[in-house]
Structure 1
Amino acid sequence: MKTVLIAVDDSKGSETAVKTFLALFACARPETVVLLYVQKIEGRSLMDEMLGMAELSTLKEQLRGTAYQDALDRRAKAVLDRYAALLRDKGVTGLQTVVRAGHPSEEILEAAKTAGAEMIIVGSRGERLHTILMGSVSREIANRAQVPVLIAR
């Protein structure tokens, strides 16, 4: 396997995803490991219902350079730096970090396609109420991906 994408955020599920990757690929590492962090606007699901894609794109553009965007960027960098350090400490090479903004499942699928990933690894949130109300990002990825998806628990 040449390229694996691991989607991470600041949840316990992401830590499990990274540890699962390390266990699964202990002997034969992929050439490239893409660590992906997706920035999402808080309350995005409600905004999806109220606004169209054009309006959301305009809103994202207006947030660029604001204190809110700076905070999102700092959070993304901190999460990616933490997991990149863990992977490097375990001997993983060919590491790429990517930040995208938007709906998590859409961005994960698009990033996997762009990177030529042969596998996607995501963590399971485990928030039952959230999953019932909002839908599951990992389930959506598993249903729509063109490559194998590992949901780490």
Structure 2
Amino acid sequence: MYDSVLIPTDGSEMVDTTLEHGLRIACDHDATVHALYVVDSRVARAAEDARESVEESLRTEGEGAVEHVRTRAEEAGLEAVGEIRTGTPQKEIVEYAEEAGIDLIAIGTHGKSPREKLLSMGSVTERVVDNAPVPVLVVRD
């Protein structure tokens, strides 16, 4: 039923809670885990003069966040892949799910980074639920 599970990550502590649920489902179905971090282009644009350094910082943060998800999945005996994209998080998550043939998205609520909270960008999770082509497991904080 679930051959591939997408676990988007923003590097927050909420991801560990989401991983507990997403990895359990992936283990039950011997599914491949997909870790996705999106460098939010809106945050980088807002930085104006420091755009490149902010984008580089976010990409570095993303590498660590994706590696964390991949490591946890591999420790659970699962195949794991990771990707970092640049764009609007909810759009990139939905597009990745379509392109990669994802069967389930496991995503947390209240997983916003401090930058996102400061900018009041709204709920990525809510927008993913509204637009995802597959079932979405929402894990509450």
TM over 0.5: yes
Match of 2:86 among 87, 101, 107: 101
SS in 2 for 1:96: strand
Separation in structure 1 between the aligned mates of residue 138 and residue 77 of structure 2, nearest angstrom: 23
SS in 2 for 1:134: coil
Separation in structure 1 between the aligned mates of residue 60 and residue 111 of structure 2, nearest angstrom: 26
Separation in structure 1 between the aligned mates of residue 8 and residue 68 of structure 2, nearest angstrom: 13
Q: How big is the shift at 1:42?
A: 5.9
2:124 pairs with 1:137 = yes
Separation in structure 2 between the aligned mates of residue 13 and residue 42 of structure 1, nearest angstrom: 22
Structure with higher Rg: it is 1
Q: 1:71 to 1:126 in 2, by over 3 A?
A: closer
Separation in structure 2 between the aligned mates of residue 21 and residue 116 of structure 1, nearest angstrom: 16
Q: Deviations over 1:27-51 (max 9, x none)?
A: 3221x2211001114647x96xxxx
Separation in structure 2 between the aligned mates of residue 135 and residue 74 of structure 1, nearest angstrom: 23
Query: What is the percent sequence identity of the aligned residues?
Result: 28
Q: How big is the shift at 1:89?
A: 1.0
In structure 2, give the amino acid aligned to 1:39. Answer: V
User: How do residues 63-142 of structure 1 correspond to structure 2 at under 5 angstroms?
Assistant: 66-93=52-79, 95-125=80-110, 134-142=121-129
In the other structure, the counterpart of 1:56 is none
Q: How big is the shift at 1:75?
A: 1.1
Aligned-residue CA RMSD (Å)? 2.5
In structure 2, give the amino acid aligned to 1:140. Answer: R
Say how many residue pairs are matched. 131
1 or 2 for the larger relative contact order (CA 8 Å, sep ≥6)?
A: 1
Q: 1:108 to 1:102 in 2, by over 3 A?
A: same
Q: How big is the shift at 1:88?
A: 0.8
Q: How big is the shift at 1:126?
A: 6.6
The answer on whether the counterparts of 1:120 and 1:149 sit within 8 Å (CA) in structure 2 is yes
Gaps of 5+ in 1: 48-58
Q: 1:26 to 1:33 in 2, by over 3 A?
A: closer
Q: How big is the shift at 1:23?
A: 2.3
SS in 2 for 1:5: strand
Q: Which runs of 4+ in 1 moved over 3 A?
A: 41-44, 66-69
Gaps of 5+ in 2: none
In structure 2, give the amino acid aligned to 1:111. Answer: Y
In the other structure, the counterpart of 2:36 is 36
Q: How big is the shift at 1:21?
A: 1.1
The answer on whether the counterparts of 1:17 and 1:152 sit within 8 Å (CA) in structure 2 is yes
